[in-house]
Amino acid sequence: MSYWCEWAWLRDGPGRDVLIETDGARITGVTPAVEPPPDTPRLRGLTLPGAANVHSHAFHRALRGRGAEQRGTFWTWRDRMYRVAQRLDPDTYYRLALGVYAEMLLAGFTAVGEFHYLHHAPGGQRYDDPNAMSAALVAAAREAGIRLTLLDTCYLSSGFGSPPEGVQTRFSDETADAWAQRLHDFDGRHDGAVLGAALHSVRAVPKAAMPVVREFARTRGVPLHVHLSEQRAENDACLAVHGRSPTQLLEEQGMLRTATTAVHATHLAAGDIARLGRSGTGVCLCPTTEADLADGTGPADELSVAGCPVSLGSDGHSVIDPFVEARAVESGMRLRSEVRGHFSPDELTMMATGTGHRALGRPDAGSIELGSLADLVTLDLDSPRMAGVPPRAAVTAATAGEVTDVVVDGRRVVREGVHQLVPDAAGTLRESIRELVEDS
């Protein structure tokens, strides 16, 4: 299959009249400045590499627009989130995730990292298939047509030294060895998805259990992700128990390295930025969720300068839009510093594309060049929002509403704004959320 692009984002930025040839999954030819060959699909507008959503909790999508009027904090929001988590089973999770992943594709994401910790039945009982919830997510991603990195998450404690409580028993495998065995048993069943690992947080995994998670990821050569310093309360508790910051603790346990991505990194202690940077640890920022939950704004510019590759995630899905996330990183830095221009449009575009795919264990995705995975997203440059905007600055103005076409593995999954595999994505979401939320 070949596609002719009016504009395409190449290594040096936007090029005109670009013919992209594929053998299915991979790009086999990129030729600028050519007339469109007969019978070749034409992608009018600007075609970018597919975006990567590095941090997702699919079931949080059910909370969008609920509780927005209530004053509170992350912790009051968490109570509502736990009520949704308590209601999910493999069937309802599949239906919800199918709608969420379809929405991501319609927004321009071609890959997602699912930070998955909802493993077991209510009360912590094992399903007959202990990986039934994982299988539901894999099936939903396959059906929607999105690339999945399933970041199976180890969660053993509700706090430093405290056992899981209430719905948290659904998250826990009780020991790190049992967590690793469950993942081992899932090998061969993840249908093309990358099976990665995650440490929920330093409060949820005791120090003695961390090496099991680290070695699972290291020996398999897969990504390792961790929530880091999202809340000041967690930092304070870690300091009280361990006498060091969460970042220091992770460094001492050998968790910081180039295959690791720290999610949020909002409230870092002095020296933590340097620790993350010198280890090459990536950082995934989720600015719309961090704003929605009143978490705060992390030091994106300092992390980038220190050497941390910065990627983006929609996390709780109050918004699913790679362009809004990218702009929010720059906006957050301007509000912190009262200075403009921390990240260029090229850098923001890279956060949303190539850097994100590498964080998900797909270094061969996120660029339009020979050998790359054939994942493309086309933006309408003729919408009122984009009128007069130079193609190179598209990320500074575009939204998911400008996405017209999405190609994954050379296959057109979204065509003229319609998802070809899940045509009624809105209905799928509406019905699945109605099953889960009391006031729907």
Active-site annotation, residues: 264, 315
CA distance 423 to 86: 29
Q: CA torsion angle for 335, 338, 339, 345 (degrees, to 10)? A: 10
Contacts for 54 with CB less than 8 Å, ≥ 6 apart: 113, 261, 263, 284, 311, 312, 313, 356, 359, 360
CA distance 344 to 236: 35
Pairing outcome for strands 224-228 and 194-199: parallel
* Cβ atoms of 173 and 212 closer than 8 Å: no
Contacts for 179 with CB less than 8 Å, ≥ 6 apart: 152, 154, 156, 173, 212, 213
Pairing outcome for strands 376-379 and 42-49: antiparallel
CA distance 356 to 2: 25
CA distance 134 to 118: 9
Tokens 């594709």 map to which residue?
105
Q: What is the 3-state secondary structure (H, E, C) of 402-438?
A: HEEEEEECCEEEEECCEECCCCCHHHHHHHHHHHHCC
3-state DSSP assignment of residue 207: helix
CA distance 37 to 40: 6
3-state DSSP assignment of residue 182: helix
Percentage helix, strand, coil for the chain under 3-state DSSP, each rounded to 5: 40, 20, 40
3-state DSSP assignment of residue 389: coil
